[in-house]
């Protein structure tokens, strides 16, 4: 089978084809209203037969629908007295000192919140059993309210899911139903409810999109990237829509870890700068996971890659506020009309236009020469903004880049400095189509002396999907003091949880004998609210590891009992046997020479990445081109290419 990794971004859809030990990359403009159209177009342009393809795809359908508030009409079913649970939330303000925060609409309008019986106590006993009349009332409400999906979230359903199952069985066939006991069987009724509602709210949209994609690639084997860094078969994605919210960015972090290991760099501070946004994260051997992520302001307690996202990308629009202050983003030109220099009708200045005006992009070499940039259009867009500011085009462009760089530097500080980590202990790793243009400036802002621009940086998220194993990450709450549980009891529960994941992967055609299992526990001191996740190594060893990690993370350990909160098991298959080799990367298509770049006294060298020797370092300033992206090597920096073509940058 030919392997194809596909990452759908806000501006471009990226393809990485792996066949017979060689890689081929491709990009097409995204089609946000129907993402599958760009995918099908790219497959045609690559001349591929779907019957020979195994596709691993990073989807933004769930993410975009959540950010835009465009889920389906969803009925939320919960216990009596808890209909406003999702509206009240945790009563936490986004801005602690804002005494008049703006009202935001509730996740579910009151008329779509349905209260019923089937209430459990914290010990699993029945407070209010579910009756037949209540089931009949729910059926009647569904007929009257005509929802497209239903989210069922009953108290303590992780202890006994019988009431949720009874309600789900009573609903009409064809209605999308999401149960909290299946989506997130853990403590925390609000977080569990939000996850269940998000799954129901987005599930039908994901199902329809996947159906269209599978119909267009009817003979291909298709898997989709999950937020936690494993893939799932396409026909199982509808029931796991909430697990796809960071589908594309997760691929980028897997790709960064994969290439970083090959380059001899394990501790990475990453920034993925695309056309619409920038994602920043830490990769210490492998991407870190969190259960405290947020999407569109809502908590997502399911495991996902730990990253921070801001609205700063190549397509971020520059404008003036009413006071005349220069702003960059978060509004983006996207794929349509795109930056002014794309020549597709865009007239507002963007970060990409600024880089072109300053000479850091070569108009004839964009996307390997397949897309020529319009310098005059960029200069007009930047010039109009500059006139309003009383500046020439170059000064305006430099101002746009300074502000965009500061936005990204601040995001990198959030993920490192604010967590007590020194960014200088990491290698700043840039990828995404626009990352290489800003890597030197960001490294200088953070005081970092070493940076890495991986091979295929412009399509690294798509490449990462090819290095991703199929897998499942299962979680279940089992509250109690750790000392009261025996090793045998914990092991039994973990094995039962693993068996569910193994069965799901077996349905995808994986051999259970080839699967790897990684059990872990969520622990905390008795009385705490937050947990730390520890690999399961036996009760006593895991408890001691918790004490050490707590001291390392928070500076102290407590003389309190350790409480077990959640059991977790990660089951994965083998990733594709992906290897990387150095290629010429289409170097012949790029005429090397010199270019005028603003701020440089004389023309700077224009070189192709594949033509760089892996011996003596190249001093900046210089422009380094490849098929997917451009790297701006600033003055005071050197670049060295390794045997695979990764660029190792060092500040003098």
pLDDT at residue 65 is higher than 90: no
In the block, tokens 């009573």 appear at: 170
Query: What pLDDT was estimated at residue 616?
Result: 78
Give the residue-averaged pLDDT of 607-623: 85
> What ranges do the domains of the chain cover?
2-66+207-247, 70-205, 471-572, 587-651
Domain 2-66+207-247: CATH architecture, name and number where available = 2-Layer Sandwich (3.30)
Mean predicted lDDT score pLDDT of the chain: 91
pLDDT at residue 97 is higher than 90: no
Which pLDDT band holds residue 410 (cuts at 50, 70, 90)? Answer: very high
Which pLDDT band holds residue 591 (cuts at 50, 70, 90)? Answer: low
**Cα–Cα distance between 619 and 637 in angstroms, integer?**
6
Secondary element (H or E) of residue 304: strand 304-305
pLDDT at residue 585 is higher than 60: no
Query: What pLDDT was estimated at residue 406?
Result: 95
Query: What pLDDT was estimated at residue 288?
Result: 87
* 53 beta partners: 2
Which of 377, 320, 367 shows the shortest CA–CA distance to 346?
A: 377
pLDDT at residue 584 is higher than 90: no
In the block, tokens 């279940």 appear at: 476
In the block, tokens 């691993």 appear at: 56
Residue 278: how many CA atoms within 13 Å on its side-chain side? 35
CATH code, 70-205: 3.40.50
209-to-182, 409, 598 alpha-carbon distances in Å: 22, 35, 45
- For 330, residues 6+ apart whose C-beta sits below 8 A from its C-beta are 277, 310, 311, 312, 316
Query: What pLDDT was estimated at residue 313?
Result: 86
Residue range 471-572 in CATH 3.30.460: no
Which of 138, 187, 202 shows the shortest CA–CA distance to 164?
A: 138
In the block, tokens 């890689």 appear at: 23
Which pLDDT band holds residue 587 (cuts at 50, 70, 90)? Answer: low
Query: What pLDDT was estimated at residue 327?
Result: 93
pLDDT at residue 588 is higher than 70: no
**Cα–Cα distance between 236 and 315 in angstroms, integer?**
33
Which pLDDT band holds residue 96 (cuts at 50, 70, 90)? Answer: confident
- Counting residues of the chain whose pLDDT is more than 90, the rounded percentage is 70
Q: What is the pLDDT of residues 167-185, one digit of tens each?
A: 999 999 989 999 999 999 9
**Cα–Cα distance between 13 and 27 in angstroms, integer?**
6
Domains 2-66+207-247 and 471-572 share a fold: no
pLDDT at residue 467 is higher than 80: yes
Which of 229, 256, 225, 248 shows the shortest CA–CA distance to 455?
A: 256
Is residue 408 within 8 Å of 603, Cβ to Cβ? no
Which pLDDT band holds residue 190 (cuts at 50, 70, 90)? Answer: very high
Peptide bond into 621 cis (omega under 30): yes
Which pLDDT band holds residue 506 (cuts at 50, 70, 90)? Answer: very high
Secondary element (H or E) of residue 29: strand 22-29
Assign 3-class secondary structure to 597-629.
Answer: CCCCCCCEEEEEHHHCCCCCCEECCEEEECCCC
**Cα–Cα distance between 599 and 187 in angstroms, integer?**
57
Structure tokens at 397: 């462009």
The pTM score is 0.88
Residue 515 DSSP SS3: coil
């Amino acid at each position: 089978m030919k392997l194809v990794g596909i990452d759908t971004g806000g501006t471009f859809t990226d393809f990485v084809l792996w066949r017979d030990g060689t890689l081929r990359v491709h990009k097409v403009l995204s089609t946000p209203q129907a993402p599958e159209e760009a995918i099908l177009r790219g497959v045609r342009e690559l001349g591929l037969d779907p019957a020979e393809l195994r596709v691993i795809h990073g989807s933004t359908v769930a993410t975009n629908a959540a950010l835009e508030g465009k889920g389906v009409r969803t009925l939320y079913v919960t216990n009596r007295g808890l209909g406003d649970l999702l509206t009240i939330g945790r009563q936490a303000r986004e801005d602690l000192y804002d005494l008049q925060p703006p009202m935001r609409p509730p996740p579910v309008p009151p008329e779509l919140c349905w209260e019923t019986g089937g209430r459990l106590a914290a010990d699993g006993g029945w407070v209010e059993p579910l009756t037949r009349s209540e089931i009949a009332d729910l059926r009647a409400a569904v007929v009257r309210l005509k929802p497209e999906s239903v989210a069922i979230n009953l108290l303590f359903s992780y202890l006994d899911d019988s009431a949720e199952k009874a309600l789900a069985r009573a609903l009409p066939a064809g209605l999308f139903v999401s149960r909290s006991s299946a989506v997130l069987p853990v403590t925390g009724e609000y977080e569990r409810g939000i996850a269940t509602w998000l799954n129901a709210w987005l599930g039908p949209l994901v199902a329809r999109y996947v159906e269209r994609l599978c119909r267009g690639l009817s003979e291909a084997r298709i898997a989709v990237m999950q937020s936690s860094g494993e893939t799932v078969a396409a026909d199982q994605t509808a029931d796991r829509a909430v697990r796809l919210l960071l589908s594309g960015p997760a691929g980028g972090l897997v790709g960064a870890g994969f290439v970083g290991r090959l380059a001899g760099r394990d501790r990475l501070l990453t920034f993925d700068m695309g056309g619409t946004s920038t994602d920043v994260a830490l990769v210490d051997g492998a991407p870190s996971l969190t259960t405290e992520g947020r999407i569109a302001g809502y908590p997502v307690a399911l495991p996902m890659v730990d990253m921070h996202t801001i609205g700063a990308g190549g397509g971020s629009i520059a404008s003036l506020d009413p006071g005349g202050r220069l702003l960059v983003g978060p509004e983006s030109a996207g794929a349509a009309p795109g930056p002014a220099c794309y020549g597709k009708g865009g007239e507002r200045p963007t970060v990409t236009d600024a880089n072109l005006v300053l000479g850091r992009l070569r108009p004839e070499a964009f996307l390997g020469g397949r897309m020529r940039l319009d310098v005059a259009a960029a200069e007009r867009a930047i010039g109009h903004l500059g006139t309003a500011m009383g500046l020439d085009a170059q000064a305006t462009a430099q101002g746009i880049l300074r502000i965009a760089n500061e936005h990204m530097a601040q995001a990198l500080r959030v993920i490192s400095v604010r967590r007590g980590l020194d960014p200088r202990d990491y290698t700043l790793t840039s990828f995404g189509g626009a990352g290489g243009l800003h890597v030197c400036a960001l490294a200088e802002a953070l005081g970092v002396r070493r940076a890495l621009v991986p091979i295929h940086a412009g399509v690294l998220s798509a490449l990462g999907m090819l290095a991703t194993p199929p897998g499942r990450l299962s979680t279940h709450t089992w509250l109690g003091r750790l000392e009261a549980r025996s090793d045998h009891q914990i092991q039994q529960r973990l094995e039962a949880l693993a068996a569910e994941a193994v069965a799901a992967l077996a349905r995808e055609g994986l051999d259970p004998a080839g699967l790897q299992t990684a059990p872990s526990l969520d622990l905390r001191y008795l009385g705490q609210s937050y947990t730390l996740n520890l690999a399961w190594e036996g009760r006593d060893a895991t408890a001691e590891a918790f004490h050490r990690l707590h001291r390392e993370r928070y500076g102290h350990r407590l003389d309190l009992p350790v409480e077990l909160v959640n059991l977790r098991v990660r089951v994965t298959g083998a990733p594709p046997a992906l290897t990387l080799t150095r290629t010429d990367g289409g170097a012949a298509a790029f005429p090397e020479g010199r270019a005028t770049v603003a701020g440089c006294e004389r023309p700077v060298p224009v070189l192709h990445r594949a033509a760089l020797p892996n011996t003596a370092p190249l001093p900046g300033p210089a422009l380094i081109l490849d098929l997917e992206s451009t790297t701006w090597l600033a003055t005071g920096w050197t670049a060295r290419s390794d045997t695979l073509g990764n660029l190792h940058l060092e500040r003098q």
